[in-house]
Structure 1
Amino acid sequence: MILSLPVADLLILALSLQGFILSGILLYSARKIKSNRWISLLILCISLEAVTPYILQIAYSHSFTAISYILFPVNLALGPLIYFYTRSLIFGDEGLPNKTYLYFLPLLIGLKHQLIWLFYTSGLLAIPFIQGLYFKTAVQNLLFAYSNRFIFLSMASMLIYMVISYRMIAQTTVDKDAPIAKIEDIKWLKKMLQLLFALLVLWVLTIIVKTIFNTSWEHSILFIPAIAFVHWLGFKAYARQAHMVPAEVEIYNKPAANISYFSTTELAEYSTLIYKLMNEERLYLDPLLKLDDIAAKLRLPVKHVSHLLNQHVGKNFNDFINSYRVDEAKLKLADPSLNHFTIAAIAYDCGFNSLPTFQRCFKQFTGLTPSQYQNTLKLSVNQSKQ
């Protein structure tokens, strides 16, 4: 069945209105379910993008051009919102990066109308240098000519964030004690991203169709399924969470997943390599050794190496390195040929950069101070001689 354009427009406007209402409901529910604020903003942005051409058309037909200074494209917000929803759902608010607003700075690229308004109302165009710059052909084309470059940039941003989010979900194992709604939402995230990818493909196809055939109905082809999708997105999320009791809500908002950056084969490979760096290259003897140095040796991101140590080796970086240094110190303290060395000299020779740190770590791993350990060895030797 082929919808006539007016019917399609009416459908988009009706669905967009419902999208705004649904976004408000989810934003209100974010008081309890923290991750809902991101999905609420995602629905709001898609609904706003769908309805903006109609708002501008009505505004221009009534000579109300000031509306163009308020509205601006929010395409570049879609990717970060998908990413933050994924992180917030899986890891809770603790999993969100610092200064999240930096991820939305690319939105400034879409503020062309606002920039034009600023030039004309601030008196900047009276300055000869700015006037000459403003009326350059390249600047005029950038500000006034239609270009697909902004759209392609939005698509690329969305695709990159979707791939990162999809990998995050694929590498996640959910705690069995997590609420059923949380488990279902994390499973559902993968399906959501698959549908978003289908919408992205449809977006590319509408651009191609518009370029080749110079049509005017590609907006309807894209946004009718897009708005239908976000309705499904919001209602499914809200329905799953509506019947949770306060105790489940509290657990839902906490990190309820562990993430693994390695396959089983990679895990065995990198575990072997990290032990090789310690046993053969003896990196632990370097008192300035940092996690970054091991990551560089393994050619892995720092957070992957940290995860490898914490989740699979069972020690954090400091404990892992210091355990090797203490083992080295035990060998030196037991070597009679090194009796003329002080405990401090042995500590520094084993990679420790301070005597108090050495003494604390030595007792942590052996239950004895270095002096007690030495005395125990001497006593054992004397008893064996008798």
Structure 2
Amino acid sequence: MIYNFNFYSSLLLITFSQGLIYSILILKKAIQTNRKANYWLSLFVLICSLYVAPWMLGFAGWYDNQPYRDFMFYMPFQHLFFVGPLMFFYIQSLLNPSFKINRKQLLHLVLGVVYLLYNFWIFIYDKIILKEYYYYADGIDKDFDEWYQILGQISMAVYFILSLIYYNRYQKLIVQISSNADAVLFKWIKTYLIAFLCMILLPLFFDFIKVLLPSKNEYESSWWFYLVYSIILYYIAITGYTNAIETKIGFEMSLFDRKPIILLTDNISNESFENDIIDTHFQDIEIDISPEIIVWKIKIESLIQSQKLYQNPELSLTEIAKKLESNSSIISRAINQGFGMNFNDFINNYRIEAVKEMFRNGEHKKSTLIGIAYDCGFNSKATFNRAFKKNTNFSPKEYLNTI
């Protein structure tokens, strides 16, 4: 097999190989943990790694020698119409364990499949019917057609926006239903999406550089684009592989309207979805509280104080709804309107008050601050410090100085 090892082909071979290795490692992790999100991430990393292959193999001499040239022509490597949907599927399956592929979801893959069929037709016509180059008479790989590259980048941009909307709605949901929201906010997804955005903007940046600094050898100058692209992909692969955060809260939502989000819990049937919905567009404004909300407000306060539910770091809105023999929709609305805050802040306020009580009793002289925080229901130092600062405008140590 021909492979011309040089500076350009060797460095891209290293980054390409790392992409394949991480794709396999993520797939192995998916099989071991049975986490659907990792299957999508593995496929995403594989597809993005293949994107580099034409330039890597081109520098290795494959476009200059047969039968390698035909292999490069008729084997599509740059699956731009699959990249965006795979990223979107990964984000959805990571944040929503109830996410499943159905016929509606499969529509996202139509353009990618059409492009594969287009390449298959080119192969059939050139190699089997005509037995000579027709589509490839110009000697230019179809993966590099301008129309395909432009539409591919547009597709990726659309799915970046969809992923961002989905993540933002998830953030609004999780603080309404979990007392441990910080642990499952997947804050690293922000940098993950920024990295994906960089992949989308990279062609525009390098096109701009070419205008400012035109090169005599455009093929070699494009090598830098693929190197930077590979580095970004490497970051995405490592970040996704090392992620250990997992959420067990399933839901259904629409991306394009303000409809409340439906919680998919074990205690509700398909026929009663409308009774377990969460309005994520809660705003902290003063409104007239209905008598019904006042009744539920008293019940919620009594339950939490008597059973000290706030000490449970995994306490959820659904759990309180079960104890009160109600549903999440009613309890969420009662907390939002009755106390003027979301569920996460509501429970954290109880925890902070418990911490203050322990401070007043001198417990900080017998135990560490983080030990007290754990006893009161917090499960991380960062969450405790952030919640305490939000509640008191002081850090825990600063607050102790005021006692």
**Shorter-chain TM-score: which interval?**
0.5 to 0.7
Give 1:119's aligned residue: 125
Question: Does structure 2 conserve the Cα–Cα contact (< 8 Å) formed by 1:171 and 1:260?
Answer: no
Question: Does structure 1 conserve the Cα–Cα contact (< 8 Å) formed by 2:53 and 2:77?
Answer: no
Distance 1:206 1:112, change over 3 A: farther
Return the match for 2:76 from 71, 75, 81: 71
Distance 1:9 1:78, change over 3 A: same
The answer to whether structure 1 residue 232 and structure 2 residue 219 are counterparts is: no
Question: Does structure 1 conserve the Cα–Cα contact (< 8 Å) formed by 2:55 and 2:223?
Answer: no
Question: Aligned letter for 1:236?
Answer: T
Question: Does structure 1 conserve the Cα–Cα contact (< 8 Å) formed by 2:95 and 2:247?
Answer: no
Question: Does structure 2 conserve the Cα–Cα contact (< 8 Å) formed by 1:260 and 1:307?
Answer: no
Aligned-pair identity (%): 19
Which structure carries more helix by proportion? 1
Q: For 1:141-176, what per-residue CA distance to the aligned partner results, in whole angstroms no more than 9, with x for missing partners? A: 999796322111011000000001101111113353
Give 2:94's aligned residue: 89
2:76, 2:64 → 1: CA distance? Answer: 16
Give 1:150's aligned residue: 148
Distance 1:43 1:121, change over 3 A: same
**What is the number of residues matched between the two proteins?**
251
Deviation at 1:309, TM superposition (A): 8.9
1:144, 1:24 → 2: CA distance? Answer: 28
1:260, 1:117 → 2: CA distance? Answer: 41
* SS of match in other structure, 1:24: helix
Question: Does structure 2 conserve the Cα–Cα contact (< 8 Å) formed by 1:22 and 1:234?
Answer: yes
Return the match for 2:108 from 103, 108, 111: 103
Deviation at 1:49, TM superposition (A): 0.8
Q: Which runs of 5+ in 2 are unaligned?
A: 261-272, 281-403
RMSD between superposed Cα atoms in Å: 4.2
1:194, 1:40 → 2: CA distance? Answer: 19
2:54, 2:41 → 1: CA distance? Answer: 20
Question: Does structure 2 conserve the Cα–Cα contact (< 8 Å) formed by 1:34 and 1:93?
Answer: no
2:191, 2:29 → 1: CA distance? Answer: 23
2:120, 2:203 → 1: CA distance? Answer: 26
Question: Does structure 2 conserve the Cα–Cα contact (< 8 Å) formed by 1:210 and 1:216?
Answer: no
Distance 1:145 1:163, change over 3 A: closer
Question: Aligned letter for 1:231?
Answer: Y
Question: Aligned letter for 1:22?
Answer: Y
Deviation at 1:43, TM superposition (A): 1.1
Give 1:22's aligned residue: 22
1:116, 1:262 → 2: CA distance? Answer: 38
Give 1:164's aligned residue: 162
Question: Aligned letter for 1:19?
Answer: G
1:145, 1:229 → 2: CA distance? Answer: 21
1:253, 1:71 → 2: CA distance? Answer: 36
Give 1:35's aligned residue: 37
2:143, 2:70 → 1: CA distance? Answer: 19
The answer to whether structure 1 residue 310 and structure 2 residue 308 are counterparts is: no
* SS of match in other structure, 1:216: helix
Question: Does structure 2 conserve the Cα–Cα contact (< 8 Å) formed by 1:29 and 1:36?
Answer: yes
Give 1:320's aligned residue: none
1:218, 1:8 → 2: CA distance? Answer: 10
Question: Does structure 1 conserve the Cα–Cα contact (< 8 Å) formed by 2:195 and 2:236?
Answer: no
* SS of match in other structure, 2:36: coil
2:142, 2:200 → 1: CA distance? Answer: 26
* SS of match in other structure, 1:30: helix
Give 1:317's aligned residue: none
> What TM-score do the two structures reach when normalised by structure 2?
0.51
The answer to whether structure 1 residue 80 and structure 2 residue 90 are counterparts is: no
Q: 1:1-386 residue pairs with structure 2 within 5 A?
A: 7-31=7-31, 32=33, 33-56=35-58, 58-64=61-67, 65-68=69-72, 69-98=74-103, 100-107=105-112, 108-109=114-115, 114-123=120-129, 125=130, 147-172=145-170, 173-174=173-174, 176=178, 183=184, 186-210=186-210, 213=214, 215-241=218-244, 252=246, 254-256=248-250, 310-312=277-279
Q: Which runs of 5+ in 1 are unaligned?
A: 245-251, 271-305, 314-386
Q: For 1:33-88, what per-residue CA distance to the aligned partner results, in whole angstroms no more than 9, with x for missing partners? A: 21011111111112111122232553333311342323342122111111111111
1:262, 1:135 → 2: CA distance? Answer: 45
Distance 1:8 1:109, change over 3 A: same
> What TM-score do the two structures reach when normalised by structure 1?
0.53
2:275, 2:252 → 1: CA distance? Answer: 12
Deviation at 1:22, TM superposition (A): 0.6
